[in-house]
Amino acid sequence: MKTQKITAATIDKVRELFQANNWPLDIATPSSLFNRFVNFLGRLTQDEQVFFIELTHKFLYIPFEKYPEALKPAILELLKHYSKKDLVVVNCLCLKDYGKSKSPFLISYLFRGLSLLYGGEYNIHVAQDIHAFHKVSLSALKNKVVVIVDDFIGSGETAVGTCKEIMASLEANKVTGDEVLPKFVCLAIVALEAGVNALKELNVETYATHVLNKAISSVTDDAERQRQSSLMDSIEGRLEKFNAENRFGYRGSEALVSLERCPNNTFPAYWLTKDAPFYRFG
């Protein structure tokens, strides 16, 4: 891999970026986010470096230690609508993913802890996974709200799949024809518009602290949008293991976000290669 020169002026721009985004300026640790970011810039031409730094000013990074604080606005919005309802918290996890280590457990665990308890009182039952609904009667869920939780909702595939599987289990448990399904909602720290819209088609509301649109496609100026698109294509074209199916992120999501783990909906330049700033381990 041919590396480009990183000028002192470019490093100053990275420092300004990290200060603006309130990211840790750890220069001493070789594997720090700051050093990974600077080293990754060595892959890029000077024009690409400038563009990548500019784009990253819009990047949202929420590590695990900030989850309780980051989730609270979404919870408070949910409670505005369902404060008098019992909440049944369920991991956003389809049957095919059961048994895997997944991010929804990080969120459902918070509902068992103290950080959210100190923020307010509400009736919560943590069901953990969809297997809990195989023998649940609809009468037991009367006046309850099923809350599907995750730290991130991307395209909506997993969230929609989880909702449909639970709904199917409950439908199979109907005793009488007049029984109705409970209200379903999704709760997340971050959601993409595509996922919100996919859930809306299923009549499932989404409560998220941050709702993100496509970072490049949302640029209103045609020439600027084309410029950014061309630069990102150039950057992605030289990434090892790059797959055209992941152009601009999974399903073309164009996301600029990382939580404790960076979702593949984010532009691959941020996570695909081992030297990427938000490399996806495992």
Distance, first Cα to last Cα, the chain: 23
Tokens of 60: 């949202």
Q: How do the residues of the chain divide into helix, strand and coil, expressed in percent and rounded to 5? A: 45, 15, 40
Asked if the model's pLDDT at residue 128 lies above 80, the reply is no
Tokens of 56: 């990253």
- Nearest of 99, 259, 90 to residue 189 by alpha carbon: 259
In eight-state DSSP terms, residue 255 is B
Neighbouring residues of 196: CB distance < 8 A, sequence distance ≥ 6:
153, 156, 206, 208, 211
8 A C-beta contact, residue 62 and residue 106: no
Asked if the model's pLDDT at residue 83 lies above 90, the reply is no
Asked if the model's pLDDT at residue 279 lies above 60, the reply is yes
8 A C-beta contact, residue 239 and residue 59: no
pLDDT interval class at 65 (50, 70, 90): very high
Dihedral sign computed on CA atoms, order 214, 216, 220, 226? negative
pLDDT interval class at 41 (50, 70, 90): very high
More confident residue, 132 or 163: 163
In eight-state DSSP terms, residue 269 is G
Structure confidence at residue 130 (pLDDT) = 63
8 A C-beta contact, residue 159 and residue 167: no
8 A C-beta contact, residue 41 and residue 52: yes
Asked if the model's pLDDT at residue 132 lies above 60, the reply is yes
More confident residue, 144 or 131: 144
Compute the half-sphere exposure of residue 209: CA atoms within 13 Å on the CB side of its CA. Answer: 20
